[in-house]
Amino acid sequence: MNKIILSHIAAICFSSVTFANEVEPINSNVYFNTDSSIIQSKWSDLLQSHANYIINTNQRVLIAGFADETGERHYNEWLGLRRAEQICSALYNKGVDKELVTCVSYGENHPSDPGSNSEALTRNRRVQFIY
């Protein structure tokens, strides 16, 4: 069984760092389909931007996986971790040093949208890059 890594962050401060020739800000989220940890191809450029930033700056990053509120709490913690691990693996495949990356799951905790409609649930199925 996967060991679920849980931690709590009292405050998370996000900057909006952008790089020349990049469309997305460096702290953009990667979103997932319901009950899935598969990274869609539309996120390739964003992942490459993050990988380049980490490699070029030797910056440490916390990869935080989240789930929406549907499903059991333990399952959502596992799914959030699985999503974070998939992003970490993609970064490693792009040349990022494993020592610079930490994967955690917050499951359904800390939703980006507190609503319960389909749009809110979609926004909560995500991975965040926290520098």
Summarised one tens digit per residue, pLDDT across range 39-80 is: 999 999 999 999 999 999 999 999 999 999 999 999 999 999
In a domain, 91, yes or no: yes
List Cα–Cα distances, 11 to 8, 98, 106, 118, in angstroms: 9, 25, 14, 27
Mean pLDDT across 101-111:
97
List the one residue out of 69, 62, 68, 58 whose CA is nearest residue 87.
Answer: 62
In a domain, 6, yes or no: no
pTM of the entire predicted model: 0.80
In a domain, 19, yes or no: no
In a domain, 20, yes or no: no
State the total domains in the chain.
1
Q: Which domain range does residue 124 map to?
A: 30-130
In a domain, 3, yes or no: no
In a domain, 23, yes or no: no
In a domain, 5, yes or no: no
